Structure 1
Amino acid sequence: MTSPRPPLAGVRIIECSLLGPAAITTHLADLGAEVVKVESPTGDYVREMTWPIVEGTSLMHLHINRGKRSIVLDLKSEPGAETFRDLVRSADAVVEAMRPGVLDKLGLGYERLLGVNPRIVFCTISGYGMTGPYKNLPSHGIAYDTWAGIVDPAYDEDGFCYIPDHVSIGINAAPLYGALGILAGILRARETGEGCRMELAQSDAAAAFDWYRSETYKAYERPESEVTGNKSDNYERRAPGIAGMRGGVRYQLYESADGHVLFMASEQVFWKNFCQGVGRMDLFERWPGSQYADHARHNRELQAELREIFKSRTSAEWIAFADEHNTTIAPVNTPQTIAQDPQFQDRLGWIPREVLGAEELPFPVKLVGEELPVPTRAPELGEHSDQVLRELLGYDDDRIAALRAAGAFGS
């Protein structure tokens, strides 16, 4: 059943955004928050940015601005600024998703807006944040990942350096951290009547998301008498993060008859179940390993045995085997093939192109026994200007016409 009242119904956010940082409110809108995207007369050029372009509009815009309404205001004009302040009066939060201080320069910063709405939560999301030597650097999403040490430079056959394929962390993690912060601020403001100002950097978010590697390196600065490896590795230190998995055998990728699978029998019980299932208890008897976190590192003899075993079945057959024998084997998909995976089809699926203009992934958190409303298509520039002014502010046609004549919406 569709929920009669989504979890964030009644939450109103006024957003001034450019490009990817607008994702900070995307999933809040998915959860039912009302998000009003205030755009300049020239609009957010995210509609033309990146690829693919779907029937004239970028997929990035269609995804990150879904579920929002767009209103055009020239904030450099006093009528436009006054209308913005009117919007803030009934809002829970204001999001400045662009270079820090833009709204302050327009006389619409946090201190000014507190006078309009003392409960307002004001959140700025930017590339490098409001402080530090990089605060004024123009940048794009990959910069935050290179800064955070997530991307290793690669070289082509001609010796030219290039950006390797990788998951973009900063531009995806920062909006999620920011949305959590906004909700925390709103909860406190509703309880205390006091607003707050917060800011976050996409670079900080990339580093925080990749905490395991950087914190491991930091821990390894301490003497080995204090910080060691696992018991199963005889306490020998491993390389941080996934790099420490390279020598693994019981925890490793293997080629199947038609692709690849991930074997993860680091617990002894799963390793024993696997050996029983394939009729090779001799492998367990010879290399039983430790109870926990044992990857049988660098055991090439065992790895050769497992390589041949895994080639004997298809990936789907191995997943069925794992389910039957209670052992740890996972599919290995690509961004292109994941949609064919039955788990994807059962749980995630696509929001169809007829709804949003392109197939998009839904918000992944599920309400048991309820369904979240399907988000609306990302707006055209100023698509909801008159609607927002009428519904949220109660402006009548005469007042809207007067604002238009006064340049509130641009010339």
Structure 2
Amino acid sequence: MLRDALKGLTVLDFTQIAAGPTCSMLLADMGARVIKVEPPSGDLGRLLGPAWVGNDSALYHGFNRGKQGLCLDLKQPEAVAVVERLVLEADILIESMRPGVMERLGLGHARLAELNPALVYCSISAYGQQGPYAQRAGVDGILQADSGLMSLIGLPDAPPCKVQAPVVDVVTGYMACMSILAKLRARQQDGQGGHLDVSLMNSALALQQSSINSFLHDGQRPVPIGSAAPYAAPNEAFRTADGWIMVAAYNGNRWQQLCAVLGQAQWVNDPRFATSALRVEHRAAMQAALNGVFGQQPTAHWLERLQAADILCANVANYDDLLEHPQLAANGLLATVEHPRHGRLRSVGFPVNSAEAACEPYLPAPDLGEHTRSVLRSFEFSEARIDALLASGAAR
């Protein structure tokens, strides 16, 4: 099972908010022991609400399930010494501080590789560890803007718009996880770890492969066109009598079938609509024609008829619709976590073989420093030393 594929691996997680926590959560979902190391002020993601679960944000709980919580003040040498001890038995370290911060703390890759040459050390930053922007901080929205992604989103002549879900953060977390797994595979051959440089900027660019590749080829700057695809038509949302329907019927056969279902056989021979490329060129006229017909009936009416004709379509769902989606239950992707203080919490679960994954219970996100004492005990710290660390404020 994927959910126990990484059992026996230990991860030290020095990340906050979403990108790094996504990576470490995936590793925890696959069975790794993830020790989330937080400063006394806690992960900044705890403060990003609404919505709230107790005093912490739902975002924090959604990105940190299955981890153990260790609280250290890395400005104190005693806390740095604790990390050095943990690194001796760790397989993976993930950090998302600004480049150079871990080095100044004495916890950079070069130093820790001396202690444990097999350590896979993954740095996640806004722009990367090198280059003129390396010292710039950045979050999801900033990188959506700076990478050009925001220029693709929204409608012409409207204010800039971004994807509300932190897509750059999340895909960066997946990129980091993929890179770590690849480095672990390489380590099986040579026994050596290494330093991985994963950035939000590169991940944001990877999200835009189709648009950037097109621009590199023809120099035509893409413009926002709402729900439509710039390379095919119809491949967009149309207004129905009670909502919206997304339709992808751009190849020859499906366009003909769509015209038949809509009772508009004459469109097949319309020179403006003869090919997908022509429909892209004459998109405004095509949209006006299709909206005029789709608007006569509710979404359910059209879904039934289009699906019967094997035309790709979907209701443009809101989150209330999503919770009623029959495939959501079939895939087992909506995870339930039993929290000792907050009861049953729901979140998106591990997305691969999710029905299988749902059979394994998820552990809740840790409270700040919840497992500090038990984690230190597991690394053979004496009770006296643990008490001293807690008393000094180096640990909490």
Structure 2 residue aligned with 1:266, among 250, 257, 263? 250
Q: Aligned residues: percent identity?
A: 26
Q: Which whole-Å CA distance do the structure 2 matches of 1:106 and 1:303 have between them?
A: 58
TM-score by length of 1: 0.81
CA gap 1:295/1:92 in 2 versus in 1, 3 angstroms: farther
CA gap 1:164/1:370 in 2 versus in 1, 3 angstroms: closer
Q: Which whole-Å CA distance do the structure 1 matches of 2:103 and 2:271 have between them?
A: 65
CA gap 1:311/1:11 in 2 versus in 1, 3 angstroms: same
Deviation at 1:78, TM superposition (A): 3.7
Q: Which whole-Å CA distance do the structure 1 matches of 2:123 and 2:355 have between them?
A: 33
Q: Which whole-Å CA distance do the structure 1 matches of 2:153 and 2:114 have between them?
A: 52
Q: Which whole-Å CA distance do the structure 2 matches of 1:126 and 1:154 have between them?
A: 24
Which one is further off, 296-305 or 195-204? 296-305
1:189 paired residue number? 187
Q: Which whole-Å CA distance do the structure 1 matches of 2:126 and 2:110 have between them?
A: 22
1:209-244 CA-partner distances (Å, limit 9, x unpaired): 1222222222124xxxxxxxxxxxxxxx79478677
Q: Which whole-Å CA distance do the structure 1 matches of 2:331 and 2:297 have between them?
A: 26
Q: Which whole-Å CA distance do the structure 2 matches of 1:342 and 1:407 have between them?
A: 50
Which one is further off, 195-204 or 361-370? 361-370
Q: Which whole-Å CA distance do the structure 2 matches of 1:288 and 1:141 have between them?
A: 40
Q: Which whole-Å CA distance do the structure 2 matches of 1:239 and 1:78 have between them?
A: 52
Structure 1 unaligned blocks of 5 or more? 156-160, 222-236
Q: Which whole-Å CA distance do the structure 2 matches of 1:209 and 1:95 have between them?
A: 22
1:227 paired residue number? none
Q: Is the 8 A contact 1:39 1:72 kept in 2?
A: yes
2:87 paired residue number? 88
Which one is further off, 400-409 or 375-384? 400-409
Q: Which whole-Å CA distance do the structure 2 matches of 1:187 and 1:248 have between them?
A: 40
1:69-108 CA-partner distances (Å, limit 9, x unpaired): 1112233434322221221122111111221222221222
2:395 paired residue number? 409
3-state secondary structure, aligned to 2:350: coil
Deviation at 1:119, TM superposition (A): 0.6
TM-score by length of 2: 0.84
Q: Which whole-Å CA distance do the structure 1 matches of 2:210 and 2:264 have between them?
A: 36
2:161 paired residue number? 164
Deviation at 1:324, TM superposition (A): 1.7
2:369 paired residue number? 382
Q: Which whole-Å CA distance do the structure 2 matches of 1:188 and 1:373 have between them?
A: 29
Deviation at 1:141, TM superposition (A): 2.5
1:26 paired residue number? 25
Deviation at 1:334, TM superposition (A): 3.3
Structure 2 unaligned blocks of 5 or more? none
3-state secondary structure, aligned to 2:111: helix
Which one is further off, 123-132 or 290-299? 290-299
2:383 paired residue number? 397
Q: Is the 8 A contact 2:334 2:347 kept in 1?
A: yes
Deviation at 1:131, TM superposition (A): 1.9
Structure 1 residue aligned with 2:282, among 282, 298, 303? 298
Q: Which whole-Å CA distance do the structure 2 matches of 1:100 and 1:405 have between them?
A: 31
Letter in 2 for 1:106: L
CA gap 1:197/1:320 in 2 versus in 1, 3 angstroms: same
1:63-142 pair list within 5 angstroms:
63-142=62-141
Deviation at 1:29, TM superposition (A): 1.6
3-state secondary structure, aligned to 2:137: coil
Q: Is the 8 A contact 1:248 1:298 kept in 2?
A: no
* 2:337 corresponds to 1:340: no
Q: Is the 8 A contact 2:232 2:276 kept in 1?
A: no
RMSD (Å), alpha carbons: 3.4
Q: Is the 8 A contact 2:3 2:357 kept in 1?
A: no
- Structure exhibiting the larger radius of gyration computed from Cα positions: 1
1:226 paired residue number? none
CA gap 1:239/1:96 in 2 versus in 1, 3 angstroms: closer
Q: Which whole-Å CA distance do the structure 2 matches of 1:12 and 1:317 have between them?
A: 53
Structure 2 residue aligned with 1:174, among 161, 164, 172? 172
Q: Is the 8 A contact 1:69 1:383 kept in 2?
A: yes
CA gap 1:289/1:186 in 2 versus in 1, 3 angstroms: same
1:53 paired residue number? 52
1:218 paired residue number? 216
Which one is further off, 31-40 or 343-352? 343-352
